[in-house]
Amino acid sequence: MKTIERELEEYASQTCKLVREKEKRLVHVNYAGGWLLAPFIADMVNKTKQAYVVYPEALKPS
């Protein structure tokens, strides 16, 4: 059984990989508008909120 910490570490690692891939693609597009990032950022925020809803213990101080 995975611990909450391990689940969050895996999620953070996957999120970092997605961000790096997205950044590489945005460099090639080379648009100045922040509106290109808006849907991606909103999606990441929603996924992070879902992770804390699934693991509310993660928000409690140790």
Residue range 8-55, pLDDT digits in tens: 888 888 887 887 777 666 555 555 555 566 677 778 888 877 776 666
Q: For position 21, what pLDDT does the model report? A: 75
For residue 61, being part of any structural domain is answered with: no
* Alpha-carbon gap, residue 5 to 43, rounded angstroms: 22
Q: How many domains does the chain have?
A: 1
Res 56 pLDDT > 70: no
pLDDT band at 58 (very low <50, low <70, confident <90, very high): low
Q: For position 11, what pLDDT does the model report? A: 85
pLDDT band at 60 (very low <50, low <70, confident <90, very high): low
* Alpha-carbon gap, residue 33 to 19, rounded angstroms: 17
Instruction: Report residue 31: phi and psi, to 5°.
Output: -90, 145
For residue 62, being part of any structural domain is answered with: no
* Alpha-carbon gap, residue 3 to 30, rounded angstroms: 40
For residue 45, being part of any structural domain is answered with: yes
For residue 48, being part of any structural domain is answered with: yes
Q: Which domain holds residue 25?
A: 4-56
